[in-house]
Amino acid sequence: MMKNQSILLIYAHPDDETVFTGGTIPKYVANGVDVYLVSATRGECGKTSGLCTQEQLAITREQELRKVAQILGIKEVDFLGYTDKNLNKVNKIEITHRIANIIRNICPKVIITFGPDGATGHEDHKAIHDFAVEAVEIAGNERVFELKNKPFKVPRVYYVSLIQKIRDNWGIREKAPEPDTIINFRSFSSVKLKALKCHRTQALTINKFLNLSDEILPCFLEQETFKLAKEYSLIKSTGGEDLISEN
């Protein structure tokens, strides 16, 4: 058991948490780890799948994510409330300070977010990467007096990093770092699948993930891959299952 440990996920939209970490989350929760989620937007510019009006999409996707949080075991979801598809236009100081305050409050052992490639090339994903990286630096800086709580240096920051087979299948051309950490979660595959299906408004996108070939689908439903951002890490990664280590 990993008592008093926590992971903070910093993503752009509802469904990011499930697509990229929907198996990792319940696996670590089952081992006593508290998982927290920051969603920068409510995804109000996405598809509705005919389940609501475009004006109702923000609240609908929030409700979907809160249901998913219960399924995956996420302890708390924090919506920052920024506009979908416009993250690169928000006030950088404001958003980074808000995220840094959350980091100082939670003191996570691990942060998971997007890498500079945004995993799929999505501009919001790239933007939240930039903000999360800056927030990690600010949270640990003793000279930033505008923040609440004591400075906290995050031991490990991981980037979502899809394997090349999935990237090729989805036609992703963005250059991305090779994963160095693999989390296997076969016994939690059904949990991830259940959570994916809760994002009902995003059925077209979710079906794209689920329609992978028989060769590649297990790579999506049984394992998730990450890249350790070594420039922020105080603990050397050894690959394999070491998102959180007792070292």
- pLDDT at residue 4, as a whole number: 64
Q: Are 189 and 23 in contact (CB under 8 A)?
A: yes
- pLDDT at residue 247, as a whole number: 35
Note the CATH number of domain 5-232.
3.40.50.10320
- pLDDT at residue 241, as a whole number: 54
Phi, psi (deg, nearest 5) at residue 173 = -105, -5
What are the average pLDDT values for consecutive 10-residue runs of the chain, which has 247 residues?
77 97 96 96 96 97 98 98 96 97 96 95 96 96 88 94 86 83 95 97 89 87 90 52 55
- pLDDT at residue 118, as a whole number: 94
- pLDDT at residue 115, as a whole number: 95
Q: Cα separation of 213 and 150, whole Å?
A: 48
Q: Are 72 and 22 in contact (CB under 8 A)?
A: yes
- pLDDT at residue 198, as a whole number: 97
- pLDDT at residue 232, as a whole number: 64
DSSP labels for 158-175? EEE---HHHHHHHT--S-
